[in-house]
A and B are shown apart, each in its own frame.
Chain A
Amino acid sequence: MSEHKKRIIELLKRKGIDPVELERKLMAMLRKGSLSTEIRDYIKNIVKGGEK
């Protein structure tokens, strides 16, 4: 893993977001046919400090 990526993950984790877990969740949602609007709401909630 590149240093840059490690740093990004670290910064996101400090904000309470695990990007790897988020990626897994979003990919699963998309594979099951979720719409972009659902993805948008999910990300917005996460960024606002909602469900992690």
Chain B
Amino acid sequence: MSEVKLLLENIGVFRGRREFKLSKGLNILYAPNASGKTSLLAGLKAASISALTTDELSRILNDYEDRGRIKLVFDDKEYVVELIRRPDGKVEAWGRRLADNGVIKDIAFIDLENRLVNAVYAGDSERVRDILRDITGITFIETIIEVIDGLHSETQYKYEMEKKAYEAKKEEVERRIKELEKRLKKVRERLEEIRSDPTLEPARKEIEKIEKERKKYKEELDDVRRKELEKRNEYGLLDRDLRNLEAELRVYMKRREELMKEKRKLEKNLISIRKEIETLREKVKELKDRIDSINSDIREKKDLVKRRRDVLEYAQCPWCGCSIDKDRLHREIMELEEEIEKLKEEMIKLNETKSEYEIKIAELEEKGELRLKSIEKELDELNKKIKNVEEQYSSVRRTIGELKKLLKKLEEQRKYLELQIEIQEAKLEKFKDKIPLVSELRRLWEEERRLSSDRENEYARLRQIENLYREVKELEEMIRTLELLKEYFRIRLNELKSTVVDRINEAVLRHFKLLRLAELEYPILSQDFELTLARIGGIRTALAELSDAEKAILVILITLALKDYVAEDFPFYVVDTLVEFIDDTRAREILKYLMEVAGKNKVLIVTKTKPYTGEPKLLTQEDIVVNKVEI
């Protein structure tokens, strides 16, 4: 049969070392009060889960000791936990545990510290409901939904503000464009009127020629101006990217500098750290050798004790025939046993020192080689990032350089075209005195040019505002994603609620025998996680109305069902003290049932108090009854 080994040192009522073996199947710890049943289970709990509070750890460590140790050997794997009492009285624990899930404490260790047990015994249905929601993860999903809700409101607010700002700016620019176009229309209408005026007749041919030329330059100018504005926009965006990349690069460089500094310092100290580790390893080796030698001394002395005990029954030595001095032998046995005890004490101290050194080695390794490796890894990643940003930076700079050249060219073109238009307009000067309308024509041409340019500028502003719109769109997209996520988690919450309830109720049905023993009807868990309790025959009852025995059965039933659902693979299930509240007949039935549940893979442990015989005695291996219900 597969076994679980549990070595306890200064745990609960046990001072010094104790070793227990548990078997797969049902283990009943059958011993009198204060013999250490709960201490054994506390040790198992500390080696199984890390989610224990300082108070719980304080109760686990022996009151008279400052250090304790638990070693759990299960499926060829070792889990060692060290406990230490700090000067302020708080107990801390470290080491490798079997599970990292806080829920295990609630569903696999059913003792008087268990919050579900306390809530059931207090008859507090609301607390029971909250604990069940916690254990099944419902509370977590609700927390996630709350967080998403908060993020959604925050993003929605930001979106509305930015949208308002965008719309106000857009409205202003659009209004301005409208005004400009209105004026432009009027100017062009007036220009048309002037063109068909008969007073213009003497110079019509020449004016038409000038206008044709002017129009050609004007079209080219509009085109160049549009291009120039587009490129200026592009330049602005690239310039922003360049500044962002510079900032990113500065952050990476600073971090690299810090890491290099730490690395140099570490490399300087590494030799001394390595030396220290080496010295400690040598000390550990010496201690190990000394422990081995003490062990063999103990074995030899035990052998001597055994040989003396063996001949105690004889009147003469069976080997040499000489007469036996029983008093002398008793004295020798006592002396040898004292020596063994001393050796054991020495060994405990040596083991403690060895553990301290081993912890120190691990700490030094963490500080030395391991930290160096992690720095080198981070530096590697950082260098890659820096290279990448540098490449981006030079590519953006190159593009900016090209853009600058292009902008300069466009500016030159624009200036040239403006000059050409001015020349064409100046050609009208000679008709000014002969035809009065020519002055107005020239003024209108100028105005038309100015209005067109202003309109182009406003269109460019509109395009810039559209960039703002992109940010508004991004926020809108975020809101949509958050809504989808919220919907997903809402569905999951409903699904989980009904699945959890169904699966727990299914599990409850599987443990139907227990339900009957508590004289309750099925189902017991409603969709809103309320325990709906009904007596056989359908009469509704409340948690507070159940007897202590029924409450105990109910807790065992619920936790078994929850364990099936949440942590089926966790190998232990412990019921401490609760069986005491149940009458013998039903207790026997429950134990039989637990034996069935345990099968060949699980380790179920139940405590039961043995009547006090007047002899105070601590729990021993003989007090653990395996796979037997009749005690």
Residue ranges of A at the interface with B (Cβ–Cβ < 8 Å): 2, 4-5, 8-9, 11-12, 15, 17, 19, 22-23, 26-27, 30-33, 36, 39-40, 43-44, 47-48
Known contacts A36-B147, A43-B147; A17/B485 CB under 8 A: yes
Q: How far is the CA of A36 from the CA of B492 in the complex (A)?
A: 19
Asked whether, in the complex, the Cβ of B488 is within 8 Å of the Cβ of A5, the reply is: yes
- Quick check: A43 and B148 within 8 Å, CB to CB? yes
User: Measured between C-beta atoms, what is the minimum distance from A36 to chain B in Å?
Assistant: 6
Among listed B96-104, B165-173, B530-538, interface-contacting one: B96-104
Q: Are A31's CB and B481's CB within 8 A?
A: no
0/1 string, B418-449, CB within 8 A of A gives 1 = 00000000000000000000000000000000
Interface size for chain B: under 10, 10 to 19, 20 to 34, or 35 or more residues?
Answer: 20 to 34
Residue numbers of B with Cβ under 8 A of A are 100-103, 137, 140-141, 143-144, 146-148, 150-151, 477-478, 481-482, 484-485, 487-489, 491-492, 495
The answer to whether A31 and B146 touch (CB under 8 A), given A12-B481, A19-B485, A40-B151, is: no
Q: Which residues of chain B come closer than 8 Å to A47, judged between CB atoms?
A: 151, 478, 481-482, 485
A12 and B140 within 8 A (CB):
no
Is the CB–CB distance between B140 and A26 below 8 Å? yes
15 contacts between A and B (CB under 8 A): A2-B491, A8-B484, A8-B491, A17-B481, A23-B141, A26-B140, A26-B144, A31-B102, A31-B103, A31-B137, A32-B100, A36-B143, A43-B147, A47-B478, A47-B482
List of A residues within 8 angstroms of B488 by Cβ: 5, 8-9, 12, 19, 23
A22 to B145, CA, bound (A): 13
Which residues of chain B are within 8 angstroms of A36 by Cβ–Cβ distance?
143, 146-147
By secondary structure, the A interface counts as helix
B489, A31: Cβ atoms closer than 8 Å: no
Minimum C-beta distance from A29 to chain B (A): 9
> From DSSP, what is the main secondary structure of chain B's interface residues?
helix
Shortest distance from the beta carbon of B471 to any chain A beta carbon, whole Å? 12
Bound complex: CA A26 to CA B229 (Å):
48
Assuming the A-B contacts A36-B146, A36-B147, are A43 and B140 also in contact, with contact meaning beta carbons closer than 8 angstroms in the complex? Answer: no
Of all chain B residues, which has the CB nearest A11? B484
Chain A residues, Cβ within 8 Å of B102: 31, 33
Q: How far is the CB of A49 from chain B (nearest CB, A)?
A: 9
Task: Contacts A12-B485, A40-B147 given; indicate if A4 touches B491 (C-beta within 8 A).
Answer: yes
A2 nearest CB neighbor, chain B only? B491
